Amino acid sequence: MQRLLTPYDRLTDWLASRLPEGLALLLTRIALAGIFWRSGRTKVEEGSALSISDNANFLFEYEYTGLPIPADIAAPMATYAEHVFPVLLVLGLFTRFAALSLLVMTLVIQFFVYPDAWWTTHIVWVAMAAVLVSRGAGAISLDAPLASRRAK
């Protein structure tokens, strides 16, 4: 016997389907990507694609002194990561890898740079990255057709 679905049941069934989940994951990908992209753009010379600014080098050398790697390595790593991984997230390509990378980056920032920012900022970044690591990019992504090809 088929059960009668209430309007609430129909709504929750639809909200749990591929399209709404895909839209929610797309929004999550864009939100997380935007945070890191904007941060990455502050680290490059104005008008350049990826030329690391003197200000960024200064910050890594004199302000972010708790990092476990040297400033001359950390500055380019952070700058390039904040440009590459957000692009991958927006495209929904290698989403779990990109989100995991930004999750690790967030934890490094939390523990070594801004340890007082957990409740004000980093918990939200970790939550978004964790959702993307666990759920993937969703239906509205370049990962979706790749996954369906692997499944065949």
3-state secondary structure of 112: helix
Its pTM stands at: 0.91
Task: Print the SS3 string covering 22-59.
Answer: HHHHHHHHHHHHHHHHHHHHCCECCCCCCCECHHHHHH
Cβ–Cβ contacts within 10 Å for residue 73, how many? 11
Q: Return d(Cα 130, Cα 152) in angstroms, integer.
A: 28
- Tens of pLDDT, residue by residue over 138-147, are 999 999 999 8
- Tens of pLDDT, residue by residue over 8-64, are 988 999 998 999 999 999 999 999 999 999 999 999 999 998 999 999 999 999 999
Q: Return d(Cα 41, Cα 34) in angstroms, integer.
A: 10
Domain ranges of the chain: 23-151
